[in-house]
Amino acid sequence: MKNLRITLKIASSLDGRIALADGTSQWITSSASRARGHQMRAENDAIMVGIGTVLADDPLLTARTVPLPARQPVRIVADSRGRLPAASRLAQSLDLGRVVAVTTGQATDAAIPAGVDIWRCGNGVRMDVAEFVRRAEAEGLRTLLIEGGSTLAATFIRAGLVDEIAWFRAPILIGGEGLPALGALGLTDLKSATRWRPVATERIGDDVLDTYVRSEQ
Ligand SMILES: NC(=O)c1ccc[n+]([C@@H]2O[C@H](COP(=O)([O-])OP(=O)(O)OC[C@H]3O[C@@H](n4cnc5c(N)ncnc54)[C@H](OP(=O)(O)O)[C@@H]3O)[C@@H](O)[C@H]2O)c1
């Protein structure tokens, strides 16, 4: 039984792309949608991204709401090999709140910037997601917002760990060379595709926010 509620947030074009081929993704959705994204951060105990997103976008991952939340969410990076740069905004903003790098037993801690917490989850090449969830629960986290990118999002979907999807869509088209919202899911037939139940649709300016919960299979 999982006690950590996991929401996957995606900000995409109409055709489900989250970045141009060169990795540019700021800003696909409008400032109003991004403000809503900050609200979602403030409502969650922790925010998570993959190291690919940190290296591409150097995000701060704080909740910048007005007023600011009483407490910032824990900021977590899936970083199996310990590549989080010391100069990244995450590592440079420890005064704003806790930052965690999730590595594996194969990683050496030496490269991880001082002050960043290290959670070792599994002994494989990549962070073991089930072990990560157990660790997050043991740390007292009850809600987690995953903000991508496409590789990390696909891992959590494949593992059946995502409870809710918050999908912001902007009315632009990026095309097939853009980065898809989700990496490979390894499906061989449609029957095994996870199904999602739409629970809300909201217009935010010209963008649309669709919320889905996982249908019981
Ligand atoms: N529009 C949006 O909503 C949005 C949001 C976020 C990102 N983006 C865009 O997405 C792009 C980055 O996406 P990405 O797919 O390249 O990278 P990503 O999903 O951010 O990070 C992937 C990396 O996470 C690490 N990782 C650790 N454990 C993992 C696991 N169990 N499963 C999967 N990954 C794991 C792996 O690196 P190690 O093996 O080194 O650990 C992996 O290469 C950027 O262009 C960014 O701008 C867009």
The per-residue pLDDT for range 69-109, each reduced to its tens digit, is: 999 999 999 999 999 999 999 999 999 999 999 999 888 77
Q: What percent of the chain has pLDDT over 90?
A: 91
- The number of the ligand 1 atom at minimal distance from the alpha carbon of 125 is 39
Q: What is the pLDDT of residue 217?
A: 59
Residue keyed to tokens 């157990």: 134
Mutate to test the pocket of ligand 1, among 6, 80, 155 (most ligand atoms within 8 A of CB): 80
Contact 104, 120 (CB under 8 A): yes
From CA 178, how far away is CA 13, in angstroms rounded? 10
Contact 7, 200 (CB under 8 A): no
Q: How many CB atoms lie under 10 A from the CB of residue 35?
A: 13
Q: What is the pLDDT of residue 181?
A: 97
pLDDT band at residue 121 under the 50/70/90 scheme: very high
Query: What's the mean pLDDT in 28-47?
Result: 97
User: Does 129 contact ligand 1 (Cβ within 6 A)?
Assistant: yes
From CA 199, how far away is CA 184, in angstroms rounded? 25
Residues 6+ positions from 89 with CB-CB distance below 8 Å:
58, 59, 60
Compute CA distances 109 → 65, 74, 87, 122, 194, whole Å: 33, 20, 17, 15, 36
pLDDT digits (tens, 9 = 90+) for 134-185: 999 999 999 999 999 999 999 999 999 999 999 999 999 999 999 999 999 9
pLDDT at position 122 over 70: yes
Residue 75 CA to ligand 1 centre (angstroms): 15
From CA 210, how far away is CA 3, in angstroms rounded? 24
